[in-house]
Structure 1
Amino acid sequence: MKLYTAEGEHDSVLVYARRALNADPTNVRYWTNMGLSSYQVGRYGEAIPYLEEALRRDPERWTARYDLGLCYLQTERYANAAENIAIAARDGGQRPDVLHSLGIALFRSGKTDSALVVWRNVLARWPEYAIQLRARPGTAAGARGVIDETPVPRGSR
């Protein structure tokens, strides 16, 4: 499955993720992979139940929590996105991309001050991160010069 992801054949990944889940529905990784694969092909609403089930089976799986937050972000459920991404960041996702996504969710949910605090902390800890964001295709300056891009789930980098 990683080979297909690396080559960008996300529809193929979705087929294999579904087969794996059907073969062993007790494996929490398959629920997470099905959610991630659905996200990667733009089926954000379809990804949500898979990720929720993964978290029901393993509430400590921060990667599923983060991906769920990204799905909520894409479906404009910003408060849910902020809540889930904050939990993911607390439980293991202390990375600039996760925290940047938290800032986006907070900003879009109307919590501008909280978003700015998160983004300032990201820049203080990882000063090179803003340069990396600007170098990525598809990034743009958002309101008040804040970089606001669509977050990328962890499996598609």
Structure 2
Amino acid sequence: VRLYVLEHQSEKGLAHLDHLLDERPDDLHAHVRKAQIYGDMKNFPAAIQELNDVLEARPNELRVRDFLGLLYEEMKDYDRAIATYQANLAIDPTFFDSVLHLGFVSYRLKRNNEAISYLEKAIKLNPKRTESYLLFGLTYFQMEDYQSAKTKLEEGILQDPANAELHFNLGTVLDKLNQFDEAVREMQQTLELDPEHADALNYLGYSYADRGIKFEEALDLTRRAVALKPHNGYYVDSLAWALYKLGRVDEALEAIQRAASLVSDDPVIYEHLGEIFLSREERDKARDAWLHSLQLDSTNESLKKRFREMGFGEPIPTISHQSSTLVP
């Protein structure tokens, strides 16, 4: 079955499992494997039906029900996911995975206090599982309580010093706390642990470029990020910004326009586009790019100030400033 799946022959894998289940209808692993294949195929109704059939006969299979909850999460049916995980805890309140997943769903729904409650319980149940600390950090980050996020991520690193995700997220928190040198060290540690951590490559490269330091390294880092994820518009924006800072404005324009075509609703990309147009003395296009940026984010006071300083008058975006005139 694994070979069929690896060779993208899922239907043959399902047929093999059906044959196996004809002979051994109670084979739990075969039922779960069918559900996994259906899930990979995005055939969620079939996957859910398969798991519900198992649970009807064996209602105490907590891992099966937890997998069912994950399928509901993937469908963004969070109410059913929550009910499914809570059904597990009604049977066994100490079942770690469902406690953790309730914390994650609560975080996704921005029910931060509920998330914290579940995550505190998860850490008490198993302090060695670092997912809890990572999710704690993300929850506090979402609450803009960066000091608490830092504390939890550092606790996680004590449990697992080689966890690249913990180091990366600690770096983002330290940046928010204006501890740039410490943030850089965490990003560098992330890349030592995982040289292809695209988020760390992008974050560090953009940070260097935006602060006006280490331009060549910034270019190398952002290029590596884009090579790993060429269709990530935010990474392409970082590459464009590094090129712009190096004075390579023609290449920067090509990259920033590609970024805008990949992410059409990001105000920072259009702010960068305006700066690049301005460096090419294309003032009308710079003005329109900035107006479009302000249309997407009217709270950007520094851009409004820059707009006035460039002699463009009052920055009043209207629906006429469309991105289609700025991006080929």
Give the TM-score, by structure 2 length: 0.38
Contact kept, 8 Å, 1:99 with 1:122, in 2: the verdict is: yes
Contact kept, 8 Å, 2:88 with 2:95, in 1: the verdict is: no
Q: What per-residue deviation string (whole Å, max 9, x for no partner) do you get for residues 78-119 of structure 1? A: 111112112223323734333211111121123221111111
Q: Is the counterpart of residue 48 in structure 1 residue 119 in structure 2?
A: no
Contact kept, 8 Å, 2:103 with 2:115, in 1: the verdict is: yes
Residue matched to 2:98: 30
Q: Is the counterpart of residue 89 in structure 1 residue 126 in structure 2?
A: no
The one of 70, 91, 111 aligned to 2:138: 70
Cα separation, partners in 2 of 1:83 and 1:133, compared to 1, 3 Å: farther
Residue matched to 2:73: 5
Q: What per-residue deviation string (whole Å, max 9, x for no partner) do you get for residues 36-86 of structure 1? A: 121122322320011112212322221112111211111111111112112
What is the identity, as a one-letter code, of the residue corresponding to 2:165? Answer: D
The one of 80, 87, 100 aligned to 1:19: 87
Cα separation, partners in 2 of 1:37 and 1:116, compared to 1, 3 Å: same
Residue matched to 1:152: none
Name the SS for the 1:36 alignment partner: helix
Cα separation, partners in 2 of 1:100 and 1:137, compared to 1, 3 Å: farther
Cα separation, partners in 2 of 1:126 and 1:31, compared to 1, 3 Å: closer
What is the identity, as a one-letter code, of the residue corresponding to 2:103? Answer: G
User: Which structure would you say has the larger Rg?
Assistant: 2
Cα separation, partners in 2 of 1:30 and 1:124, compared to 1, 3 Å: closer
Give the TM-score, by structure 1 length: 0.73
Cα separation, partners in 2 of 1:122 and 1:34, compared to 1, 3 Å: same
Q: Distance in 2 between matches of 1:16 and 1:97?
A: 28
What is the identity, as a one-letter code, of the residue corresponding to 1:74? Answer: Q
Shift of 1:135: 5.0
Q: Is the counterpart of residue 109 in structure 1 residue 109 in structure 2?
A: no
Root-mean-square deviation over aligned CA pairs: 2.8
Could you tell me the percent identity over the aligned residues? 24
Cα separation, partners in 2 of 1:122 and 1:78, compared to 1, 3 Å: same
* Residue segments in structure 2 that go unaligned for 5+ positions in a row: 1-68, 202-224, 243-328
Residue matched to 2:268: none
The one of 91, 95, 100 aligned to 2:168: 100
Greater length-normalized contact order (CA 8 Å, ≥ 6 residues apart):
1
What is the identity, as a one-letter code, of the residue corresponding to 2:128? Answer: E
What is the identity, as a one-letter code, of the residue corresponding to 2:132? Answer: A
Residue matched to 1:128: 196
Contact kept, 8 Å, 1:11 with 1:41, in 2: the verdict is: no
Q: Distance in 1 between matches of 2:181 and 2:108?
A: 30
Contact kept, 8 Å, 2:171 with 2:186, in 1: the verdict is: yes
Cα separation, partners in 2 of 1:19 and 1:82, compared to 1, 3 Å: same
Q: Distance in 2 between matches of 1:45 and 1:105?
A: 20
Aligned pair count reads: 143
Q: Distance in 2 between matches of 1:5 and 1:87?
A: 28
Contact kept, 8 Å, 1:66 with 1:85, in 2: the verdict is: yes
Misfit runs of 4+, over 4 Å: 132-141
More off after superposition, 57-66 vs 43-52: 57-66
